[in-house]
Amino acid sequence: MNRAIHGLRDCLGQFATGVTVVTVRHEGAVHGATVNAFASISLEPPLVMVSLDRRSRLCGRLAGAAFEINILSSWQQGIARHFAGDGTDPAAEIRWDTLPHSLRLAGCAAYLTCAPWASYDGGDHVLYLGEVRNFEIRGGPPLIFHRGDFHELRQTATLAPTTDGTGILR
């Protein structure tokens, strides 16, 4: 990676994101990848977007396919690393919830089941839009990715309101 691209990557890493694992069934098997380039696009119709590197194995498998977005909980760093290709966490320890129309990772903070909507050229990535057909919120603290590493969201102390009503702490 050249110096300018490495610098840009470091700059973009200043933006904290949540962590998801996108899963899809392909030729009878389930495949997945850790993705932090995920966004809500529209509420009417309900659309979300994931961005996948063209070189990833999942990229071609997602074309025209229904997919799941598993929003990871803070304790699921091992799962995130596994699906990112780290290889340090054995797949045998990954628990799945099998439902009539989906297969998803157990214990996530939330899930979205998506039908393919559209895909767009995104340079060295492909942007996949999915129409949300189903979702479930389990709650709990999310897994965060910032500056090239995983973090937990920490609760901040609640600040007492100011006496003058301005909202400015003095």
Whole-Å CA distances, 122 to 27, 62, 73, 125: 26, 15, 28, 5
Query: Which pLDDT tens digit goes with each residue over 66-88?
Result: 999 999 999 999 999 999 987 65
User: Whole-angstrom distance between the N-terminal and C-terminal Cα of the chain?
Assistant: 47
- Annotate 87-137 with three-state secondary structure: CCCCHHHCCEEEECCEEEECCCCEEEEEEEEEEEEECCEEEEEEEEEEEEE
pLDDT at 166: 47
The CATH architecture that domain 42-138+147-153 belongs to is Roll (2.30)
Task: Indicate the pLDDT class of residue 118, thresholds 50, 70 and 90.
Answer: very high
Looking at the predicted structure, is the pLDDT value of residue 170 above 70? no
For residue 161, pLDDT over 70 is answered with: no
Q: Which of 83, 88, 67, 76 is nearest to 23 (CA)?
A: 67
What's the predicted TM-score (pTM) here?
0.82
Q: Is pLDDT at 145 greater than 80 in this prediction?
A: yes
Q: Give residue 156's pLDDT band: very low, low, confident or very high (50, 70, 90).
A: low
What pLDDT, on the 0 to 100 scale, is given for residue 168?
46
Q: Which residue has the higher pLDDT, 169 or 103?
A: 103
Rounded Cα distance between 128 and 114, Å, is 10
